[in-house]
């Protein structure tokens, strides 16, 4: 593979796995709650997440009696997407205005990997930061060995590459690496919502090694739940100018349900091409990176013909924020501390990661060490981020997600689909599928010659 093509393929992976739609310009500085104003440290159903206290020690790298330095990974220099930076600014501004963590102020060190500089930023983080919180990088697998070698805990907004998904010293909100987190959603699609589509599933995949693995895992999952994949389309990772041949191929194979692994911009073009030939699928899995106004704008009225869906994996839908106090509070905090920012699905996940850090760090008190932080966070058996999402069990290193929620797109925007929720906005008790194929394994402490006994 030529170097240029290789880079393009990796870019496509980042677009798919991390989302590259610009979320808004950088926010203007507003570091406090205003002179003399008392800011509450409560968030959702979490009480006193942030607040004053009396600490005197400097128990770990990046932790002094006055502050805590935390690394926030992003590819903003490449993607121009500031959602993780905005979230870090919003959370730290609010938390610090409320008194910090037991009086310690939070300092967010932005680690801009610029897509290709993950290792460089991780080495810097290893030298300075106490932990990684609320970020993500498209090529995060490149830095995981360095992170584990320096025993740096991570509470990311999301993970991308298989080397990092399920790696040690990390608490991920998307379920265990051995399980397909979309099994409940896929089962609902082919067993309840559209049972006639079970024998006619199609998978369209961008031509890069990582996305092809996602396609293989998806095929395995559908076959495990009784589906049949009749079309496996491979398209250039950088996309194509004419999607009509791909639409014709989908039609010729009689596909009724399509899973798409590529950028939402390309999916919008494919949806339009399918609509132009008057071929309506029972469903299209647009994946959660399409969840937002950009995809709706690009796909336009084709979304009134096609049934484009996305599983948010248990994150409360943003368009219904007024009905959920925690989601509304995030919107209000963004309006206050990052008025030019946009709240996205990944920003909500990032905010939840910051909350998990804050609650755990507060519990550690004066003796805030990496070991205490990680072990305390790992005890959360039903974490909801104060009400931002369905419960996630962090006590298990490798476990499936129990809850899902489905959104439907139209030219008017996104709204919850009729997926028969049984626990508030979510459907919980979902079936699980553990992968049986041979895939890249997540990196462990043992892989770098370390163990949990080394964590201090």
DSSP line for 342-355 = ---HHHHHHHHHHH
Query: For residue 26, is pLDDT > 90?
Result: no
- Which of 197-201, 396-400, 417-421, 427-431 is predicted least confidently? 396-400
Cβ 422 vs Cβ 429: under 8 Å: yes
Query: For residue 36, is pLDDT > 90?
Result: no
Residue range 159-181, pLDDT digits in tens: 999 999 999 999 999 889 999 99
- Domain 9-14+48-177+320-389 coded CATH 3.40.50.2300: yes
For the chain, the average pLDDT equals: 92
Query: For residue 28, is pLDDT > 70?
Result: no
71: β partners: 109, 132
Query: For residue 213, is pLDDT > 80?
Result: yes
Query: Per-residue pLDDT averaged across 351-367, rounded?
Result: 98
Query: Per-residue pLDDT averaged across 284-310, rounded?
Result: 97
pLDDT at position 24, please? 34
pLDDT at position 346, please? 96
Query: Per-residue pLDDT averaged across 311-322, rounded?
Result: 98
- Which of 26-40, 54-68, 363-377 is predicted least confidently? 26-40
Fold of 183-312+402-428: Rossmann fold (3.40.50)
Query: Per-residue pLDDT averaged across 197-206, rounded?
Result: 97
* CA distance linking residue 202 with residue 426, whole number of Å: 26
pLDDT at position 103, please? 98
pLDDT at position 16, please? 55
Query: For residue 369, is pLDDT > 50?
Result: yes
Query: Per-residue pLDDT averaged across 351-369, rounded?
Result: 98
pLDDT at position 445, please? 98
Of residues 155 and 26, the one with the higher pLDDT is 155
pLDDT at position 2, please? 33
Q: What is the percent of the chain where pLDDT is above 70?
A: 92
Q: The tokens of 14 are what?
A: 């980042």
* CA distance linking residue 58 with residue 99, whole number of Å: 18
DSSP line for 132-192 = EES---TTGGGGHHHHHHTT--EE-S---STTTTT-TTB--TT--TTB-TTHHHHHHIIII
| Per-residue pLDDT band at 438 (split at 50, 70, 90) | very high
| Per-residue pLDDT band at 31 (split at 50, 70, 90) | very low
Query: Per-residue pLDDT averaged across 179-188, rounded?
Result: 97
pLDDT at position 208, please? 87
CATH 3.40.50.2300-classified regions of the chain: 9-14+48-177+320-389, 183-312+402-428
Residue range 93-143, pLDDT digits in tens: 999 999 999 999 999 999 999 999 999 999 999 999 999 999 999 999 999
Give me the count of residues in the chain.
456
Angle at which helix 209-224 crosses helix 3-17, to 10 degrees, equals: 50
* CA distance linking residue 325 with residue 119, whole number of Å: 39
| Per-residue pLDDT band at 8 (split at 50, 70, 90) | very low
Report how far apart, in Å, the C-alpha atoms of 302 and of each of 18, 268, 271, 292 are.
25, 8, 6, 16
Q: The tokens of 276 are what?
A: 């132009």
pLDDT at position 34, please? 46
Cβ 169 vs Cβ 154: under 8 Å: yes
């Amino acid at each position: 593979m030529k170097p240029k093509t290789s880079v393009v393929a990796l870019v496509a992976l980042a677009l798919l796995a991390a989302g590259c739609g610009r979320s808004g310009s950088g926010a203007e500085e507003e570091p406090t709650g205003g002179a003399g104003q008392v800011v509450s440290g409560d968030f959702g159903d979490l009480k006193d997440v942030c607040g004053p206290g009396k600490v005197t020690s400097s128990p770990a790298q990046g932790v002094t009696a006055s502050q805590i330095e935390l690394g926030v990974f992003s590819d903003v220099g490449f993607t121009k997407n500031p959602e993780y930076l905005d979230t870090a600014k919003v959370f730290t501004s609010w938390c610090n205005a409320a008194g910090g963590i037991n009086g310690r102020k939070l300092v967010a060190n932005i680690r801009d990997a610029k897509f290709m500089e993950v290792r460089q930023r991780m080495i810097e983080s290893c030298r300075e930061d106490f932990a990684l919180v609320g970020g993500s990088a498209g090529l995060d697998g490149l830095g995981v060995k360095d992170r584990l070698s320096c025993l740096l805990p991570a509470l990311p907004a999301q993970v991308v590459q298989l080397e990092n998904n399920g790696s040690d010293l990390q608490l991920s909100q998307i379920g265990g690496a051995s399980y397909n987190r979309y099994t409940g959603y896929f089962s609902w699609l082919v067993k309840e919502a559209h049972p006639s589509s079970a024998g006619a599933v199609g998978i369209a995949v961008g031509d890069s090694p990582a996305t092809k693995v996602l396609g293989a895992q998806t095929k395995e999952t559908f076959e495990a739940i009784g589906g049949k994949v009749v079309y496996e389309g491979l398209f250039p990772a950088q996309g194509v100018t004419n999607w009509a041949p791909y639409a014709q191929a989908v039609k010729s194979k009689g596909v009724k349900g399509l899973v798409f692994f590529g950028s939402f911009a390309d999916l919008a073009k494919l949806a339009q091409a399918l609509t132009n030939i008057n071929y309506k699928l029972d469903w299209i899995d647009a994946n959660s990176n399409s969840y937002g106004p950009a995809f709706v704008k690009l796909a336009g009225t084709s979304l009134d013909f096609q049934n484009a869906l996305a599983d948010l994996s248990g994150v409360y839908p943003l368009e219904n924020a007024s009905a959920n106090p925690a989601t509304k509070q995030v919107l209000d905090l963004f309006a206050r501390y990052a008025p030019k920012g946009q709240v996205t699905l990944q920003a909500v996940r990032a905010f939840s990661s910051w909350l998990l850090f804050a609650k755990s760090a507060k519990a550690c008190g004066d003796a805030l060490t990496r070991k205490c932080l990680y072990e305390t966070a790992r005890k959360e058996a039903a974490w909801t981020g104060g009400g931002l999402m369905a419960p996630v069990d962090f006590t298990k290193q490798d476990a499936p997600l129990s809850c899902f929620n489905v959104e439907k797109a139209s030219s008017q925007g996104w709204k919850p689909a009729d997926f028969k929720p049984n626990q508030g906005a979510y459907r919980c008790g979902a079936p699980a599928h553990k992968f049986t194929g041979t895939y890249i394994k997540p990196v462990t402490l043992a892989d770098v010659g370390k163990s949990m006994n080394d964590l201090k």
